[in-house]
Chains A and B, each alone.
Chain A
Amino acid sequence: MSLNRRDFLKLTGLVASSAALASCSPSIFQRVAGASPLSAWTPLPGADFLALGRLTFGPRPEERAYFVQHGLQAWVEEQLAYEAIDDFFCDLRLKPFDTLRMRAHELADLSDKIFDDLDRQTVPNELRHATLLRQVYSRRQLFEVMTEFWSDHFNIATDKGNCFYLKTVDDREVIRKHALGSFRDLLWASAHSPAMLVYLDNQVNVKGAPNENYARELMELHSLGVHGGYSQQDVMELARALTGWTVKEHFWTGDFSFDDGQHDTGEKYVLGMRIPANGQAEAESVVEALAQHPSTAQFIAAKLARRFLADPSPAEIVRRAADAFTRTHGDIRAVLRVVLLDGLPLAQPRYKRPVHFVVSALRMLGADTDAGPAVQNYLMRMGQLAFNWPTPDGYPDRDAAWQGNLMPRWQFAFALVRGELENTNLDLPGLRDISGAHDLPGVISALASLLLGAPLPPTQRDEWIASVRAAGADEDETLAVLTGGILASPAFQWR
């Protein structure tokens, strides 16, 4: 189900006109001097608020200000050159997570408790933890958004075999390494990724009786798409070419390995190409061909446009993005420039997936969080714990898939404002002070502007306040429960 923009506004009762925004007291948005971690927020035209909701996991007040000052194009270019963005404070928070930097055999050793059962929790939990910290704190927001996108595209569930520790390597060496690089390199790295080979059973794909699992998903999900023009015969032939692609079990445990002895040396035909016997290079030549295939360009372009713009994705933008993909041999930045710079004006509201819902609440309100079990538990109940989607298609990107599970979102919203999340803190008095408003209605309006992009119409705002007052809330409770109410509201479920 997709909403058009007018329905979206009707749904929320918001009037996101620039006139309404302009009527806000300028003092609300004045930056407060001093060492407060919070900063004031500026009014934002609806289109900018919507764009920022795609380029980030929910904009922090200072990001809003920066966006207004520099504009979409400069913002996108700066974010695409992510290596140049100083991320010191985020890196600092990641410091304790040693496993993020370890090689596969070190992670295997760490997990092997010798006298006890294998520890299958520590390593993947650190990865989940770090992932959420980065989503909340990294200033390289577009990079994090794309990291999540590719983590779905090349989905790996950590509870499959040794993926519990191999995914950490895949996350570092495949997804994050190439998230804004070349799709060809990304596909190539994923194909050689031990976590992927284990997840899709290629580590046991041997000559004589091949295992088709990875071969199929490599074409169906990772490159061509289910309508991309491959056949069951192609799946079987590619599976033969991939025989012997496996993972080391001794010495450098968990590294990629090509087992000559298990490789089917016969000739193969994949997608109309004759693949002469050539060991590991056979499947590599297919990976090259898949990365260059027009169906792949189309599939990736459409998927990106859907994630960033609208579902269904706008056909003309997809066509141009696919052209850019082909012209640049899969330069992800070039494709994103088309999707974002040309496409964002066409963007339609999209329902926030749970990670976006949670992270946007934390970021926009400037909450301090350890991204630990309290928050992770809510993500699990909302249905989007990282690296926990069992099937290789990744977490769904259809709005309708997520719309029927409001309860844990409401619970999270109120737990956050009521200070019930362990090691996650919200400075509501600080937000009230920084809003610059002199009374409760003013603060609520300012918070709505922060969280929903526009202040609430006064009649609606007063109705909300009255309803909470009627339930016996004092001034502080009213502020808390209404902030929770804004987070729980239909409008905040959309980005």
Chain B
Amino acid sequence: MTITLSRHSFIQSSTLFAGAALAPMWPAWMPRLAFAPEKLTPRGDVLVVVFLRGAADMLNVVVPHGEDAYYTLRPTLGIPRPDDKNIKAEERALDLDGFFGFHPALRLLLPIWQEKQLAIIHACGAPDESRSHFKSMELMERGVDDEKGPASGWIGRHLATLNTGNRSPLRAVGMGTLPQRSLSGSVPVSALRSIADFHLGGDARAVAQMRSVLDTIYAADTLGQETLGIMDILQKLDPSTNPQPPKIQYPDSEFGLALKQTAMLIKAEVGLEVSAIDLGGWDTHFAQGGSTGLMSNLLADLAAGLAAFHADIAGHLDHITVVTMSEFGRRAAENGSLGTDHGHGSMMMVLGGHVQGGRVHGNWPGLREGQLIGPGDLAVTTDYRDVLGEICLKRLNNPALGEIFPGHQPVARGVVT
């Protein structure tokens, strides 16, 4: 049999469709096994990319508590050592490996780390040293070294170079109101803010009229066709008719909703390959807080969302890779307004069923004088494209790294298997 969607996902989809109030029909966009076109690649994992916008202060996310310089540089913002008996236990870093520790607001990620389904790559990032959010985000989402590179996004090129035979309009979605730059390319991608809102309002008669005019007007428009196709699929997924297991508690936030909807799409087997999610608010120049406060609240949202997602898709984890990233890190020393300014080296997390987890990957460049770069920033020892490239190759079945990351030859760092 020529496999176009994996046997696994096919079987799952049949049982799932049979169980729920979903149409058991073979959706039109799904490739027919009997007419499988040539040169198809089996689908790999569902990729979930979480972009922390605003340059998250990764030194306070995964804390190098084994480094004295950290506490010298951050006398008020530093997260206390895991064994600092002068501080309340819930305000100390959560030790990971004797040198690094989680910010205490990431407590919910600890079990996933211990199950070795969560890996950390510290001191990673891009070569660009502009310290500009907008230039850095753009280059990173395009996956290029400088503005001369292709205008499309790295995920867009991944989708364009991997023919899985999957014609689902939900092959890739950007959660939110604007599709992420990383998704742009020849494969149309829609933004999806709320599954519950994704329908035409009115009675059946009115809906039929609106639908027929849209079908006519958008007959030759790919993006419009895609939106109509999504509407058809999502209609069957209305969350009110498809309740979540009550034990899984997503945070009541846009981020929580984005992950919850991603899980819904994964479980419903509607052809999702990539979900791009943003979590903003990390540009903490002022009053970012330490163990508690502004940034701690953001981290709590991040951890609660990822932990709920992890529990929600437990049965699918073998086929899911989640990666978190941010445009750069922040200055090693705190500034005079209880915040941190733009820095360089960042941190990525990778979560999934085939992750070399429970480990902090990458070379730690250190925080002492002579080890910091520029105005006093963490150096980059792992290019972010090494991590993404390895995921593309090993988890997404896409070897076209030269097209996805032109001008960079990704080096596999052993983050996934």
Q: A interface vs B, CB < 8 Å?
A: 11, 200-201, 204-213, 216, 220-221, 226, 232, 235-236, 381-383, 390-391, 393, 396, 400-408, 410-411, 414-415, 418, 420, 463-464, 467-468, 470-473, 477, 481-482, 484-485, 488-490
Contact = CB atoms under 8 A, between A and B. Distances in A.
Nearest to B284: A201
B229 to A, nearest CB: 12
B131 A216 contact: yes
A402 B178 contact: yes
A414 B210 contact: yes
Residue in B129, B177, B200 with the greatest tally of chain A CB atoms within 10 Å: B177
A490 B218 contact: yes
Nearest to B184: A400
A28 B341 CA distance: 62
Contacts of B354: none
A211 B335 contact: yes
Contact of B223 (A206, A403, A488): A403
A404 B285 contact: no
A211 B285 contact: yes
B193 interface: yes
A17 B181 CA distance: 36
Contact of A201 (B130, B184, B189, B285): B285
Interface in B184-225: 184, 188-191, 193, 197-198, 200-202, 205-206, 208-218, 220-221, 223-224
Given A404-B188, A407-B227, A471-B211, A490 B286 contact: no
B337 A463 contact: no
A488 B337 contact: no
A201 B193 contact: no
A270 to B, nearest CB: 15
B80 interface: no
Given A206-B336, A391-B280, A212 B212 contact: no
A418 B202 contact: yes
Give the interface centre of A211, A390, A415 by most chain B CB atoms within 10 Å: A211
Contacts of B37: none
A375 to B, nearest CB: 15
A1 to B, nearest CB: 8
Given A209-B336, A407-B231, A411-B200, A482 B213 contact: yes
B201 A468 contact: no
B375 A232 contact: yes
A201 B286 contact: yes
The 10 closest A-B pairs by CB, nearest first: A209-B336, A383-B177, A204-B337, A404-B179, A485-B213, A213-B285, A471-B212, A201-B285, A201-B286, A405-B191
B220 to A, nearest CB: 8
B246 interface: no
Contact of A414 (B133, B190, B200, B339): B200
9 contacts: A204-B339, A210-B336, A211-B335, A212-B285, A213-B283, A406-B224, A410-B200, A472-B209, A485-B217
A208 B227 contact: no
Interface of B: 53-54, 129-135, 174, 176-179, 181, 183-184, 188-191, 193, 197-198, 200-202, 205-206, 208-218, 220-221, 223-224, 227, 230-231, 280-281, 283, 285-287, 334-339, 341-342, 374-375
B208 A472 contact: yes
A201 B53 contact: no
A406 B227 contact: yes
Given A220-B134, A407-B197, A488-B214, 9 more contacts: A201-B285, A213-B283, A396-B178, A407-B230, A408-B197, A470-B212, A471-B211, A485-B213, A490-B218
Contacts of B342: 212, 216
B335 A404 contact: no
A213 B216 CA distance: 50
Contacts of B230: 407
B317 to A, nearest CB: 29
A467 B208 CA distance: 10
Contacts of A201: 285-286, 337, 339
Contacts of A473: 209
Contacts of A477: 206, 209
B335 A383 contact: no
A391 B54 contact: yes
Given A206-B337, A216-B132, A391-B53, A468 B209 contact: yes
Interface core residue of A236, A404, A405, A470 (most chain B CB under 10 Å): A404
A207 B335 CA distance: 10
B286 A211 contact: yes
Contact of A467 (B53, B183, B197, B215): B215
A382 B200 CA distance: 15
Nearest to A491: B217
From B181, B198, B285, residue with most partner A Cβ within 10 Å = B285
Contacts of B285: 200-201, 211-213
A335 to B, nearest CB: 23
Contact of A232 (B131, B179, B189, B224): B131
Contact of B213 (A206, A404, A418, A484): A484
Given A11-B221, A226-B135, A232 B374 contact: yes
A488 B217 CA distance: 9
A470 B215 CA distance: 13
B283 A463 contact: no
B49 to A, nearest CB: 16
Contact of B283 (A391, A405, A410): A391
Nearest to A483: B213
Nearest to B287: A204
A381 B197 contact: yes
Contacts of A402: 178
A13 to B, nearest CB: 8
Contacts of A393: 133-134
B80 to A, nearest CB: 21
A116 to B, nearest CB: 22
B335 A468 contact: no
Given A236-B375, A405-B190, A407-B227, A212 B341 contact: yes
A200 B133 CA distance: 13
A200 B342 CA distance: 13
A32 to B, nearest CB: 28
